Amino acid sequence: MKRTTTDDETRISVTHRTPVSYIDKSREFYAAQGYPTPYRWAANVGAPFTPVTGPLTDMTVAIVTTAFPVEARGPKRAYAQACEPFPAAMATDDLSWDKDATHTDDVATFLPLRHVRSLATRHVVGELGPRFYGVPTEYSRRRTELDARQVEQWVREDGVDLVLLVPL
């Protein structure tokens, strides 16, 4: 950014993009709202992510989404739902996505269960897990940790080896 100063004004000629620090802006926003302690970003140092160690052709794959079944009622909670039958629709209107540039009418564009099944049919992956999992987009570290532990338990119960995180 190049600044040109005159007696009356400051003109800014933008020649390059200037990055905005999301972390700093968020911290400033919460401070301006009167929160007494600065916002703490989750570090997830102990997250159970591990490198893929075996061939994909031997792995059971599952999906975690932030979309919810259309019939979901009440407060949103982590859920596990059978992959069969594939859901024809999911509730997405309350989620943040570019509603001017795209739509969520085609569930396969954001919940690729059929695609993973086709990968299994072509022997690219072992198989699609019996269930997919959903978590709400909560901005609470405590809630995120609780939901993550619940999903981890379901993943272990289902014998899933590889989880694809596909947030909307």
pLDDT digits over 63-91, tens only?
A: 999 999 888 777 889 999 999 999 999 98
pLDDT tens-digit readout, 11-55: 666 677 777 787 888 888 888 989 888 777 766 677 667 788 899
Q: What is the pTM of this model?
A: 0.73
Mean pLDDT of the chain: 85
Contact (CB, 8 A) for 57 and 123: yes
Fill in the DSSP letter of residue 156: H
Instruction: Count CA atoms within 13 Å of residue 144 on its CB side.
Output: 11
pLDDT at 4 > cutoff 60: no
Pairing of strands 68-69, 79-82: unpaired
CA 64 to chain centre: 8
* β-pair partners for 60: 127
pLDDT at 108 > cutoff 80: yes
Any idea which residue has 């999992």 for tokens?
133
